[in-house]
Every structure is written in C-alpha cells, then in structure tokens.
C-alpha cells in the first residue's frame, strides 16, 4: 500500500536532510522519533485536510480546503500562514498574514510573538482564532504547538501530543521541529505577550472590506 512519508523521512528523501542541518541533526532526528509517525495513510490526509480541528475552544487549525463562508462564521480571526495567498474573508473577520513557506530553512521566530498576541487578544474578547496553511499539517500546526508551549507553558512533548490528538495528520517539517526543540531547550516560555511594534515585519490585514464572492458556500 502506498503511503506518504512524514517529516523525518520526507526530508531525507528530498535532499533537505542532515547535510543541510547543523551538527545537532542526529540528536534532532532521534528526538523526533518519539513524536512523529513515520507514515500517514494518504486517504487519512485527504480526509482530515478537509476538516477544521479544535486545539482549544478559542484556537483551531486547518488547511485551505474547509475555508468556506459558512465555516468561517464561527471565527473572529484568521491567521493565514501561506506565502502569496490573500484569501477573501467574511467582513467580520480580522486577518493576520504570516507569509511563510513550508521549508526547512524558514525561520518562524520573527512571527511567534505577533501570532501569540493575536490569539490572546481574541481569546480575551471571547473570540476564536483559526490558523491555516496549505493542508493544516506543518506551518499552522507548528504555531499551535508553540503557542501551547510559550503561553500555556506545556512541554514540547505534551503540546505536540495535544495538537496531534486534535489533528492526527500534523507533521511539522524538520526545520520547524528544530525551532520548537530550541524553544524548549532555552526555556523560552512567557506568561503574557508584550506589544508588537507597528513596523513589525508581519503585515496585518483588517479584511473588514473583504467580500464573500470568492468563497464557496
């Protein structure tokens, strides 16, 4: 039966393997074996990629497929983690655009703080945030795991397992996983999120004038 490889194996095959990582690559790979499934059935990926997964009542993760106008009515904030995609959204939504690629070399650290602050702002106001990427497997899942680590002070193991339980198909790429390991290694936890400067690299879209014309119903 044909299966799709998860983070560790897909990177070995793609050439983005240990020769492109630092000397701690072997340790990272050993660490990953305790978290990730080696393979995921393609039919499971196809099924779950069409769903929205609840991480917390105020925080959800998905891919692009389920972003219909009806599904988005329950949310107050949309965090778009797809570079080059400007997704139309219902007028009630605030949209935060995080223009990143699902690539081992992508640095997520410039975006941790603004993503966490945005989630917290909407949580405190009784709102709900949806983080999405292409399929809800790597980019959006990484932000959800890191949020639980940095804001709720969970260990990487517990945060990853919590998100994985909610969304079985998550599989952050090796570069993202290394950054989460680094968060835990350095003890970069915070109980609150400070203000973000207005000239921050991330663009914030109000989306208040967006139309529903390009959204499926």
Helix 139-150 / helix 112-124 crossing angle, nearest 10 deg: 70
pLDDT at 204: 43
CA distances 35 to 32, 62, 76, 193, Å, are 5, 20, 32, 28
List the domain boundaries for the chain. Answer: 4-100+107-205
Is-catalytic flag, 171? no
pLDDT at 97: 95
pLDDT at 18: 36
Residue in 6, 77, 81, 133 annotated catalytic? 133
CATH architecture group of domain 4-100+107-205: Alpha-Beta Complex (3.90)
pLDDT at 6: 53
**Can you tell me the distance from the alpha carbon of 113 to that of 197, in angstroms, rounded to the nearest whole number?**
11
pLDDT at 35: 58
pLDDT at 211: 29
SS3 56: strand
pLDDT tens series, the chain, 217 aa: 333 345 333 433 333 433 344 444 455 555 555 555 544 678 778 888 899 999 999 999 999 999 999 999 999 999 999 998 876 778 889 999 999 999 999 999 999 999 999 999 999 999 999 999 999 999 999 999 999 999 999 999 999 999 999 999 999 999 999 999 999 988 755 433 444 333 333 444 433 323 223 333 3
pLDDT at 170: 94
């Amino acid at each position: 039966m044909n299966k799709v490889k998860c983070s560790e194996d897909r990177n070995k095959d793609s050439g983005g393997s240990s020769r492109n990582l630092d000397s701690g690559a072997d340790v990272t790979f050993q660490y990953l074996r305790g978290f990730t499934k080696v393979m995921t059935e393609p039919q499971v990926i196809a099924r779950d990629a069409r769903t929205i997964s609840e991480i917390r009542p105020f925080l959800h993760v998905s891919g692009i497929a389920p972003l219909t106008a009806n599904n988005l009515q329950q949310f107050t904030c949309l965090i778009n983690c797809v570079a080059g995609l400007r997704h139309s959204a219902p007028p009630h939504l605030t949209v935060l655009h995080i223009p990143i690629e699902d690539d081992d070399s992508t640095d997520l650290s410039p975006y941790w703080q603004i993503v966490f602050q945005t989630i917290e702002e909407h949580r405190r106001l009784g709102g709900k945030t949806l983080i999405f990427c292409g399929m809800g497997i790597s980019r959006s899942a990484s932000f959800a795991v890191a949020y639980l680590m940095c804001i709720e002070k969970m260990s990487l193991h517990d945060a990853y397992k919590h998100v994985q339980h909610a969304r079985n198909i998550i599989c952050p790429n090796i570069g993202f996983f290394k950054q989460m390991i680094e968060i835990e290694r350095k003890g970069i936890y915070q109980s609150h999120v400070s203000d973000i400067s207005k000239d921050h690299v991330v663009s914030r879209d109000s989306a208040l004038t967006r139309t529903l014309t390009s959204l499926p119903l």
